[in-house]
A and B are shown apart, each in its own frame.
Chain A
Amino acid sequence: QKEVEQNSGPLSVPEGAIASLNCTYSDRGSQSFFWYRQYSGKSPELIMFIYSNGDKEDGRFTAQLNKASQYVSLLIRDSQPSDSATYLCAVTPPGANSKLTFGKGITLSVRP
C-alpha cells in the first residue's frame, strides 16, 4: 500500500488559472504535511507546510488539510509559467517527525 499518493499527471493549466494539486496519505496518525516544488535538475524547495485542519494561505498558494479524509491539497492561484515544475507532497509519520515520506510528485505545466 502506497503511503502517500498524488494524482497521476501531468497537469496542464492556462496562465492565470487555478491549479489544484491533490494528495492522500494512508497513515491516519500523520502529523505534518508539506508541499515541495522541484524544477527539473534542481533540488526540492519548500513552498508550504500545514499542521492543522483547515486552510493556510501564503501569497498565491493555499494548502488545505482534512485529516478525517486523510487528504491534503495545494491550490495555486493566478498560475504563471514559472510555476511549471514537479510538486511533491510529503508527510511525517507519527513518532518520526523528521522522516518525510514523499509522494511520487505531479508535474504541472502552465501554458502561456
Chain B
Amino acid sequence: KAGVTQTPRYLIKTRGQQVTLSCSPISGHRSVSWYQQTPGQGLQFLFEYFSETQRNKGNFPGRFSGRQFSNSRSEMNVSTLELGDSALYLCASSQIRTGGASTEAFFGQGTRLTVV
C-alpha cells in the first residue's frame, strides 16, 4: 500500500512569490492535514481537510490556504512568501471513523521550501 506522497520534495522561491504544494493521501484515507516544521517552532498544525472542506485550522495568517479535491488529494498554497516561511511542510493522512473522528495520522516525506 503506497504511503502519503508529497510533491515536490524541494522548492526554492523568492520573497513575494507564491507556491503550491501537493499531497496524495494513503488510499482510503479521507482526511488530510498540513503541518509546518521549523527548528525554532517545531511542528505546527496548519489546517485539516475532510470531504473537500476545511475542518480545523491552526494559527497561521491568511497567506496560507489549502483545498481538497474529490479524490482526497490536497494542495496547500502560500502567497506573498516571506523568508520566515522557509520550512519543511508535511502532509498527514488519516482515516475517518463512523461519527467523524480521525484515526492515527501518517506523514508524507515533506516538501522542503526555501525562500530567498
* A interface residues, Cβ below 8 angstroms from B: 34, 36, 42-46, 49, 88, 90, 96-105
Contacts and interface: CB of A to CB of B under 8 A. Distances in A.
A105 B42 CA distance: 8
Interface residues of B, number: 25
A44 B102 contact: no
Contacts of B55: 98
Interface string B58-90: 100000000000000000000000000000101
B108 A43 contact: yes
Interface of B: 31, 33, 35, 42-45, 48, 50, 55-56, 58, 88, 90, 92, 94, 101-102, 104-110
Contacts of B101: 97
Contacts of A103: 42
Contacts of B104: 34, 46, 49
